[in-house]
C-alpha cells in the first residue's frame, strides 16, 4: 500500500494528483524550482523539497534529485504526472531500483514504446495497423509528415513538414524543443493526414489482465498540434464506431503488455476510416473531461493499479451527458501564439462546482495551475488551467463554458480566453463540423470579444469614472461631494487611455448630484497629448450612445446605455485598468496628461 507519494511535476499536474491523494488518505510530497517557490502546488503538499535552479533541465528533469528528495521525505512512491519525466524509461527504472513504487507503466514498456518500429511490429502482429512512420528523418520519402519527439506527448514539440526543406527546419526545431522539455532530443516522423478528426480513448489496465476503457474524447480544435478544446462523446461517433474504437484501444494495450493508464490516439477521416496513431503512456490533462462524463476518478484507479490491486470492474462505464473542456493558456493567439509572462493580478473563474475531481452533478470543474498573485514565467508550459463544463447536452455544455470564460477575470497576462469563447460560440463548432484544420479555416475566431467601437469607449468611460470615484474616496476634504462639483460651470473632466483602438481621450461633465450631463470620446495623437486634457473640445463627436450613470465606485460602474443597464468591473493596478463587462474585457493604460520632466545636465544649458 502507498502511504506517501512524491509527485515529480508541478502546477496543474501536481495539484491534480494531490487532490486524489487527500481524498484517499495518502500523504503528499512536492518538488519545486526557484521559479515555483510560491506556486499553489507547493503550499498544498504535506512536504515540499527545493530543486535549485529554474530551467527544467536543472530541476524537474533531474531524476536523481527527485529520487533523493523522495527518500529524504520518506515517500514510498513517485507519481510523474504528465510531461517532464512521465515517459522516461530510465527514470522509471531508477525509481523501481530505488525501492519506490512507480505510478506508471513498467520501465520495459516505456522502453518498448520509445522504439516506434518495434511498436508497429507488435501491433501488426495483432492485426492493428498504424500510420507510416520513419524513425530516421533521413528515410522520409513522401510528404507531408509530422516531426514528433520520441518522448513526451500532447503535441508539444510537434512540427509539420511539407517538403524536404521544411523537414530540415522542423527536425531542428523538434529536437531543440524535445531536449528542453523532456531531456531527450530524439525525434521521429509520421505520415500527416488531413482533413481528419483527432480522437483519444482512455484505457486503464491492471496487472491481473483486467481493463477499463472509456468512451472517446475528441480534440480536433488544436493549435500547433496541441488540443485546445476537448469533448466527450464526439458528435460524429456512432455507437457502433465507438464500440469498434474502444475494442481496438484495449487490443493495442494488450498487444504491448501494458499496465497502467494509457491514451490510445486515433485519426478519423471524413469517409469514416480511422487509423491508430500511437499509445501515449500517460494520463493527460484532458482526462478531466473523461472523468466528468464517466463519474470516476482516474488518478485513484491509477494509484490502485500501482499498488498491485485489481480494478473494481471491467469494461466500459456508461457515459453521463456531455463534457467539454478547454485549455486556458498564457499566450497571444493574434501574435503566433506567443507566450506571455508577468504577474497574474487576478485569476477568477466560476463559480466552479468542483476542482480536480469528478463532479457529482452537472456544472463546472476547474483544474488550475495558478492563483491570484502567481508569476507566469518563461521556463515552463503556458497552461494556466483546464476548465470543463458537464451538462445533459452538448449545446448546454458549450453555452455554459462560453459564458463562464467570457465572464472570467483574468488580469495581468494576455490569454487565449477570447479565442476559446469564439470557438465555443462558432456555428461550425456547434454543428460538430470540426477537424484539425479548424483554426486555419476560421480566422474570425481570432478577433477579440470586445471589438465594437462603442464597447471600448464605454469601457474607457467606466475606467475614468472609477478612477475619479477612487480619488474622491481618498480626498482629505469634501470627499462626499460629487466628482467635478463646481459652483459655476467649468471645464469637463478628462482622462486619456491607450487601448486596443489606439489612444483615446474620454471627457465627461457631472452635475451637482453626480449625474452625467455629457460625455465624449475622441482619438488623440499620443505624440501631441499636450492638446488633450484641456477641457471640452470645440466640436464634440456625436457618434456615441446616450449614457446615464447608475452608480460608480472604485471597483464597479453601472451605466444606463440607451435604456440598457450595463455593469463594468474595474480593477486598477498602477496605471493599468482592467475593465470587465458582459460584452468582454479590455486593458487600458492611463496616459499622463502632462509630460514627465526629464533632468537636463547642467552642461547642456546655454551660457
Please compute the mean of the pLDDT values over residues 92-110 and round it to a whole number: 97
Please compute the mean of the pLDDT values over residues 306-322 and round it to a whole number: 96
Distance CA 387, CA 349 (A): 9
CA dihedral 593, 409, 230, 449 (to 10 degrees): -40
Question: pLDDT tier at 64 (50, 70, 90 boundaries)?
Answer: very high
- Going by C-alpha positions, the residue among 281, 415, 445 that lies closest to residue 340 is 415
Q: What domains can be seen in the chain, in order of their start residue? A: 4-103 (3.40.50.20), 204-446 (3.30.470.20), 453-590 (3.30.700)
Are the C-beta atoms of 448 and 418 separated by less than 8 Å?
Answer: yes
Distance CA 326, CA 391 (A): 15
Distance CA 480, CA 488 (A): 18
Question: pLDDT tier at 604 (50, 70, 90 boundaries)?
Answer: low
- Going by C-alpha positions, the residue among 113, 129, 133 that lies closest to residue 190 is 133
159: Cβ–Cβ under 8 A, 6 or more apart, which residues? 146, 147, 169, 170, 171, 173, 174
Distance CA 531, CA 223 (A): 45
- Contacts of the segment 45-50: beta carbons below 8 A, 24+ positions apart: 45/7, 45/14, 45/18, 46/4, 47/73, 49/73
Please compute the mean of the pLDDT values over residues 483-492 and round it to a whole number: 70
Q: Residues of 243-274 as b/e, b for ≥16 C-beta within 10 angstroms?
A: eebbebbbbbbebbebbbbbbbbbbbeeeeeb
- Encode pLDDT of 452-468 as tens digits: 888 999 999 999 999 99
| Residue 585, CA distances (Å) to 346, 392, 575, 591 in order | 13, 29, 17, 19
- Encode pLDDT of 336-354 as tens digits: 999 999 999 999 998 888 9
The β-bridge partners of 79 are: 7
Q: Is the per-residue pLDDT at 533 higher than 60?
A: no
Please compute the mean of the pLDDT values over residues 129-137 and round it to a whole number: 82
| pLDDT value, residue 186 | 86
293-295-301 Cα angle (round to 5):
115
Q: Is the per-residue pLDDT at 400 higher than 80?
A: yes
Which tops the pLDDT comparison, 396 or 129? Answer: 396
| pLDDT value, residue 538 | 58
Distance CA 161, CA 325 (A): 29
Please compute the mean of the pLDDT values over residues 552-557 and round it to a whole number: 96
Average pLDDT of the chain is 91
End-to-end CA distance of the chain: 87
In a 3-state reduction of DSSP, which class is residue 381? coil
Are the C-beta atoms of 86 and 104 separated by less than 8 Å?
Answer: yes
- Going by C-alpha positions, the residue among 525, 507, 524 that lies closest to residue 516 is 507
Which range among 126-140, 291-305, 410-424, 559-573 shows the weakest confidence by mean pLDDT?
126-140
Are the C-beta atoms of 397 and 389 separated by less than 8 Å?
Answer: yes
Amino acid at each position: 500500500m502507498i502511504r506517501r507519494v512524491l509527485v515529480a511535476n508541478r502546477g496543474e499536474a501536481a495539484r491534480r494528483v494531490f487532490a486524489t491523494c487527500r481524498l484517499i488518505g495518502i500523504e503528499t510530497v512536492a518538488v519545486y524550482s526557484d521559479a515555483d517557490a510560491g506556486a499553489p502546488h507547493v503550499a498544498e503538499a504535506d512536504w515540499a523539497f527545493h530543486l535549485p535552479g529554474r530551467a527544467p533541465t536543472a530541476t524537474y528533469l533531474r531524476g536523481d534529485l527527485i529520487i533523493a528528495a523522495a527518500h529524504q521525505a520518506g515517500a514510498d512512491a513517485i507519481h510523474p504526472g504528465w510531461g517532464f519525466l512521465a515517459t522516461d524509461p530510465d527514470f522509471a527504472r531508477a525509481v523501481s531500483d530505488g525501492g519506490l513504487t512507480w505510478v506508471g507503466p513498467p520501465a520495459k514498456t516505456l522502453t518498448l514504446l520509445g522504439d516506434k518500429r518495434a511498436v508497429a511490429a507488435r501491433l501488426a502482429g495483432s492485426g492493428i495497423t498504424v500510420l507510416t512512420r520513419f524513425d530516421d528523418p533521413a528515410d522520409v520519402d513522401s510528404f507531408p509528415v509530422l516531426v514528433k519527439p520520441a518522448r513526451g506527448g500532447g503535441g508539444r514539440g510537434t512540427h509539420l513538414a511539407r517538403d524536404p526543406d521544411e523537414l530540415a527546419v522542423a527536425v531542428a526545431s523538434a529536437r531543440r524543443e524535445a531536449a528542453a522539455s523532456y531531456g531527450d532530443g530524439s525525434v521521429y516522423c509520421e505520415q500527416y493526414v488531413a482533413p481528419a478528426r483527432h480522437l483519444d480513448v482512455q484505457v486503464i489496465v491492471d496487472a491481473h489482465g483486467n481493463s477499463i476503457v472509456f468512451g472517446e474524447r475528441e480534440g480536433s480544435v488544436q493549435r500547433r498540434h496541441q488540443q485546445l478544446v476537448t469533448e466527450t462523446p464526439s458528435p460524429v461517433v456512432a455507437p457502433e464506431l465507438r464500440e469498434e474504437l474502444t475494442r481496438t484501444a484495449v487490443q493495442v494495450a494488450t498487444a504491448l503488455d501494458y499496465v497502467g493508464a494509457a491514451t490510445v490516439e486515433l485519426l478519423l477521416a471524413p469517409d469514416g476510416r480511422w487509423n491508430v496513431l500511437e499509445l501515449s503512456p500517460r494520463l493527460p490533462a484532458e482526462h478531466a473531461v473523461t472523468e466528468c462524463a464517466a463519474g470516476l476518478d482516474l488518478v485513484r484507479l491509477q494509484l490502485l493499479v500501482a499498488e498491485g490491486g485489481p480494478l473494481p470492474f471491467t469494461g466500459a462505464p456508461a457515459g453521463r451527458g456531455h463534457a467539454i473542456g478547454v485549455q486556458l493558456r498564457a499566450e497571444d493567439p493574434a501574435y503566433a501564439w506567443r507566450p506571455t509572462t508577468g504577474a497574474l493580478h487576478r485569476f477568477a473563474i466560476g463559480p466552479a462546482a468542483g476542482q480536480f475531481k469528478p463532479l457529482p452533478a452537472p456544472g463546472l470543474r476547474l483544474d488550475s495551475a495558478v492563483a491570484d498573485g502567481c508569476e507566469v514565467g518563461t521556463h515552463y508550459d503556458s497552461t494556466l488551467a483546464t476548465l470543463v463544463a458537464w451538462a445533459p447536452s452538448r449545446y448546454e455544455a458549450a453555452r455554459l463554458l462560453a459564458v463562464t470564460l467570457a465572464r472570467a477575470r483574468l488580469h495581468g497576462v494576455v490569454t487565449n480566453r477570447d479565442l476559446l469563447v469564439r470557438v465555443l460560440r462558432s456555428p461550425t463548432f456547434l454543428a460538430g463540423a470540426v477537424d484539425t484544420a479548424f483554426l486555419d479555416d476560421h480566422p474570425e475566431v481570432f478577433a477579440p470579444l470586445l471589438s465594437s467601437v462603442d464597447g471600448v469607449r464605454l469601457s474607457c468611460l467606466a475606467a475614468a469614472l472609477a478612477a475619479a470615484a477612487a480619488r474622491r474616496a481618498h480626498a482629505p476634504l469634501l470627499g462626499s461631494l460629487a466628482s467635478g462639483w463646481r459652483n459655476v460651470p467649468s471645464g469637463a473632466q478628462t482622462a486619456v487611455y491607450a487601448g486596443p483602438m489606439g489612444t483615446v481621450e474620454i471627457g465627461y461633465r457631472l452635475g451637482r448630484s453626480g449625474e452625467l450631463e455629457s460625455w465624449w470620446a475622441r482619438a488623440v495623437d499620443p505624440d501631441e497629448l499636450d492638446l488633450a486634457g484641456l477641457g471640452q473640445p470645440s466640436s464634440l463627436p456625436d457618434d456615441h450612445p446616450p449614457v446615464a450613470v447608475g452608480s460608480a465606485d472604485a471597483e464597479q460602474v453601472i451605466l444606463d446605455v440607451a435604456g440598457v443597464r450595463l455593469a463594468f468591473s474595474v480593477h486598477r493596478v498602477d496605471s493599468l485598468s482592467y475593465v470587465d463587462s458582459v460584452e468582454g474585457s479590455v486593458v487600458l493604460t492611463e496616459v499622463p496628461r502632462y509630460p514627465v520632466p526629464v533632468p537636463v545636465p547642467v552642461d547642456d544649458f546655454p551660457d
